[in-house]
Amino acid sequence: MNPRSSQSAVDQILELAIAPSWSSVGYDIRRRMFGWDAAALPRLDGRVIVLTGFTSGIGRAAASALGALGATLHLVGRDPGRVAATSAELAGEGVEVSTSIADLSDLDAVRRIAAEIIEQHPSIDVLIHNAGALTRTYATSPQGYETTVAAQVLGPFLLTTLLLEPLRAARGRVLTVASGGMYAERLSVADLEMTPDDYDGVRAYARAKRAQVELTREWTRRGDGTVSFHTMHPGWADTPGVVESLPTFHRITRPFLRDPAAGADTLVWLAAVDQDELGTSGGFWLDRRRRSISKLPWTDAPAGERYRLWSWCTERTGLD
């Protein structure tokens, strides 16, 4: 067996096992095995990257890494104090930064920041959807939608649509940070938005992440190839969001969790490398490798369900 085949076999065995694949163990093995070197990533001088959810965890690590490569960052966050503090830290690192304040569950706020971004950046190379927390209690957005689906499905769908022209101008790409938790759910538009009576934060989060992945396939199908779309999941990373939303999981798995930089590695790589290295649009990635979007056959999207999801999003965002 040649070295490349051996590496692929090890990678596939890790992925089948899931836990070692998604932990720091999988990342460390792959990083050494494939010889990843952050210094080898191409420079991003003059490239404009819009990143949501940047004040902590994976988003913060990605912002630092992308800024270190020379990218111009437009950062979106919902807490003015944290946005100001984190953007000042990044500016202190020599990163060129501009910001917008918005809760992405508020569709009116999304429209406002889209106009701000376009005014400052007529050309956008990469749009990264990273914002999105696991919310334990039921709540609704200003437009009356459950906040998990509003912030992680409707808000990003609307922002992507509104920024398509500057993305097309740069032949850019749209990257979405999903979660391995989506593997437990099958896309069902009828069940996507939970009610107060049946709300479960973990399932709502997983369903929203499944919707993100399926929408990426639908964006690819409907697009003309000018803009490419990819999703990724970071594995199990030790972030403030995990500590807050999944304290028991964090306590048990903490010795094996990835640090935020490891969780952000594939995201930074997807933003930096040439499109030829990524291949066709619509990929779902972990540790710089394309992965299947279903591990169990009964989680495959039913025929027509992506179309129904698209229609559901266009109707609720007022784009129909």
CA angle 182, 212, 225 (to 5 degrees): 135
In the numeric block, which tokens belong to residue 70?
Answer: 């020379």
In the numeric block, which tokens belong to residue 121?
Answer: 């950046």
285: β partners: 232, 290
The DSSP H or E segment spanning 49 is strand 48-52
Instruction: Let me know if 205 is a catalytic residue.
Output: yes
- Residue 308: CB atoms within 10 A of its CB come to 16
Q: Alpha-carbon distance 155 to 313, whole Å?
A: 9
Q: Alpha-carbon distance 203 to 206, whole Å?
A: 5
Q: Alpha-carbon distance 30 to 32, whole Å?
A: 5
175 backbone φψ class: left, alpha, beta (φ>0; ψ -120 to 50) = beta
In the numeric block, which tokens belong to residue 207?
Answer: 């369903």
Q: Alpha-carbon distance 294 to 2, whole Å?
A: 29
Catalytic residue among 27, 145, 183, 205: 205
In the numeric block, which tokens belong to residue 134?
Answer: 């696991």
Which amino acid would we find at residue 274? D
For the annotated catalytic residues, the residue numbers are: 205
